[in-house]
């Protein structure tokens, strides 16, 4: 991968944040309900749509809700104080938006990895995968300067590369998920009752276990189903979680764990639930996580979590995660 040096830093990087510079969210935008990335990206295709002759020279901006947004009206209201490119730079640097442009069989994407919104990333990946192009360039704002990277010609590699840019950038500075393993014997009550029921019947959840999830755990649970291809799909989120935790988890229902709107936390969930499924053993951890819900600001969640794998005789896999919020779990101070 060849790096092309930037000529200058953009003027919008020093503009103050303000709602007056937010673009109009009009009829042109459409909500992006995040589907499973695997279903769309892994589909067998004969190649991109036969629209190679189409040239989209204008920049397309994707907002933090995953919608294409109109910026013309805001530019008109600014009365020429910013050019279109300067305004797009401002949105990508300060607001977590993404932008792309197709021109002469090339695609040019632009975003700031460390603050790019999850839904904006998902929509950008869809657009990149579906668009007709032969050459790709990524412009990212990293450490107060623009960086330009020439990307591979293979679509799958580009999708992986762009995802890694965002995940690595958002994981390292914030240390999004810190974890500490604990022995299963140290599981406190009422989780201990759930563990006891699993020991009695590890093939399928018993009626007593499901009753305890409501009465003892008070609805702080998540069900995950395993697929034949190894994917883990979130199928149910209990209603006992704190409001902002539930709001962060609910949009992931029906999708792979790694395809949650909070991509960093989703990748962690896919790893830990996948480990429990592979080992066929309970996993008990303390977790100190920075979560990013689809709507709202990041927040810190400190909790203990027990994962129990159910393997039926027919070969199906179902995983249960139960948790208990605990503000006393402070892994960040321990990590320095």
Q: Note the pLDDT tens digit of each residue in 159-207.
A: 989 988 888 777 654 578 899 988 877 899 889 999 999 999 999 999 9
Residue 56: what pLDDT? 55
Q: Which residue has the tokens 């994981």?
A: 171
Q: Please give the structure tokens belonging to residue 134.
A: 């032969």
* The pLDDT of residue 252 is above 60: yes
- As a whole number of angstroms, the distance between CA 143 and CA 134 comes to 29
Q: Within its chain, how far is the Cα of 58 from the centroid?
A: 27
Residue 82: what pLDDT? 84
Contact 308, 319 (CB under 8 A): yes
Q: Which CATH number fits domain 177-335: 3.30.70.890, 2.40.50.140, 3.30.450.20, 3.40.50.970?
A: 3.30.450.20
- As a whole number of angstroms, the distance between CA 13 and CA 145 comes to 9
The share of the chain scoring above pLDDT 70, in percent, equals 81
For 149-177, give one letter per residue: b (16+ CB within 10 A) or e. bebeeebeebbebbbebbbebbbeeeebb
The mean of the pLDDT values for the chain is 82
The DSSP 8-state label assigned to residue 202 in this structure reads: S
CB atoms within 10 A of CB 84: 13
Which one has a higher pLDDT value, 31 or 76? 76
pTM score? 0.53
* The pLDDT of residue 55 is above 80: no
Domain ranges of the chain: 3-171, 177-335
**49 Cβ contact partners less than 8 Å away, ≥ 6 residues apart:** 130, 132
Indicate the range of 24-38, 91-105, 230-244, 317-331 predicted with least confidence.
24-38
Which one has a higher pLDDT value, 51 or 136? 136
Contact 288, 332 (CB under 8 A): yes
């Amino acid at each position: 991968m060849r790096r092309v040096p930037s000529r200058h830093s953009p003027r919008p990087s020093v503009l103050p944040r303000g709602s007056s510079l937010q673009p109009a969210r009009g009829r042109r935008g459409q909500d992006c309900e995040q589907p499973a990335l695997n279903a769309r990206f892994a589909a067998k295709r004969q190649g991109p749509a036969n629209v190679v002759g189409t040239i989209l020279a204008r920049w397309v901006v994707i907002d933090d809700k995953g919608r294409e947004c109109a910026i013309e009206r805001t530019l008109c209201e600014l009365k020429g104080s910013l050019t279109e490119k300067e305004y797009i730079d401002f949105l990508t640097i300060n607001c977590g938006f993404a932008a792309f442009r197709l021109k002469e069989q090339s695609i040019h994407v632009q975003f700031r990895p460390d603050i790019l919104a999850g839904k904006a990333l998902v929509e950008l990946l869809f657009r990149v995968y579906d668009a007709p192009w032969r050459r790709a360039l990524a412009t990212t704002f990293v450490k107060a300067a623009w960086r330009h990277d020439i990307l591979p010609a293979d679509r799958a590699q580009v999708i992986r590369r762009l995802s890694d840019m965002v995940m690595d950038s958002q994981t390292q500075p914030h240390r999004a998920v810190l974890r500490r393993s604990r022995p299963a014997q140290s599981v406190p009550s009422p989780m201990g009752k759930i563990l006891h029921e699993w020991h009695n019947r590890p093939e399928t959840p018993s009626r007593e276990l499901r009753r305890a999830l409501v009465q003892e755990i008070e609805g702080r649970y998540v069900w995950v189903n395993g697929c034949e291809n190894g994917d883990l799909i979130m199928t149910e989120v209990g209603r006992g979680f704190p409001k902002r935790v539930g709001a962060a988890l609910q949009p992931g229902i029906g999708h792979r764990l790694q395809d949650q709107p909070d991509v960093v936390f989703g990748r962690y969930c896919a790893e830990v639930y996948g480990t429990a499924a592979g080992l066929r053993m309970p996993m008990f951890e303390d977790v100190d996580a920075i979560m990013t819900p689809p709507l709202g600001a990041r927040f810190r969640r400190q909790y203990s979590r027990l994962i129990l794998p159910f393997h039926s005789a027919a070969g199906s896999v179902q995983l249960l995660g139960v948790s208990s919020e605990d503000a006393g779990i402070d892994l960040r101070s321990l990590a320095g």
